[in-house]
Amino acid sequence: MMELQSAGRSWDRRMPITDTDRDRIVQAIRTYIARERISRDEFAQRAKLGKSTVDKLVVGLFSEKTILQIESLLKINLINTGTADEMAAEELGRYSRGDTLNYVGEYVFARPSFQEDGLIQAFRMEILWDRDAAALLVKEISSGKKAPPQFGKVYIPRASMHVFILSNEGGWLKTVILSQSDVYKRMKGIMLTMGHAFGNLYTPVAMPVIMNKYAKIEKDMVGKIDPNSRMYEEYNQDLLAVEQTQYAKWICIKQI
């Protein structure tokens, strides 16, 4: 396979790779494969590596020469992220800050309305790295409403194709499971929470949800989105795609 020269780096230089660094590099590569939704064969083609080399790579068997080649061709930083010491806890998936920079930014989180058919509720959210928590956090950007802003912690298991967000507000749990961010910077999945039924009665509900990343979020992109809104069709199609394209699957019991 063709091997490339990287500016300012020598392929023959040897670097001691600690177990921590090796684990971080493996996780970064697995995250890249999952985020790009490609197979190992496709990754091998992009990085101009043999399939056997990639098979070894994802279990931690590699040289610095191989890593430098991947960095040069895929334009990703694996060796010197500058944030190697900032790692999420094992229970969160042991992801690093550097591995997850692509998730940082502002999003629209959208779901069907609990009470009104055909209406979509959209929230302006932000994903950021919190140094005190040593993790990615999801926070609702204040909209001036009386209810407290929504908040959650991000879990990204090793080699997972999904992102988990868990919110705990005074013991009230909310779980969101999303696909990893795609090339369009969109994530689709489901949410399990408590929905308002009537009066003071709440009941468990599961529903499709989306998180779309935007460079700029306008005022009319959030709040109550009805069929007359310019964003309705986009959000509605993404929500319908959760089931139609099997980002999530509903399991029902058939009557006999």
Q: Give 101-244's CATH code, choosing from 3.50.50.60, 2.40.128.30, 1.10.240.10, 2.40.128.520.
A: 2.40.128.30
From the list 89, 93, 66, 87, the residue with the least C-alpha distance to 78 is: 66
Per mean pLDDT, which range of 74-83, 156-165, 178-187, 188-197 is the poorest? Answer: 74-83
pLDDT of residue 46: 92
Q: What is the mean pLDDT of the segment spanning 241-256?
A: 89
pLDDT of residue 209: 97
Every domain of the chain and the residues it spans: 1-80, 101-244
| Separation between Cα atoms, residue 84 and residue 87, nearest integer Å | 7
Structure tokens at 18: 């600690």
pLDDT of residue 11: 35
Whether the per-residue pLDDT at 248 is higher than 60: the answer is yes
223-225 vs 201-213, strand pairing mode: unpaired
> pTM for this one?
0.67
| Separation between Cα atoms, residue 150 and residue 254, nearest integer Å | 36
Q: What is the mean pLDDT of the segment spanning 144-157?
A: 76
pLDDT of 49-102, one tens digit each?
999 999 999 888 988 889 889 988 887 777 665 444 588 999 999 888 887 888
Give the percent of the chain with pLDDT over 70. 86
Whether the per-residue pLDDT at 36 is higher than 80: the answer is no
pLDDT of 228-242, one tens digit each?
999 999 999 999 999
Superfamily of domain 1-80: lambda repressor-like DNA-binding domains (1.10.260.40)
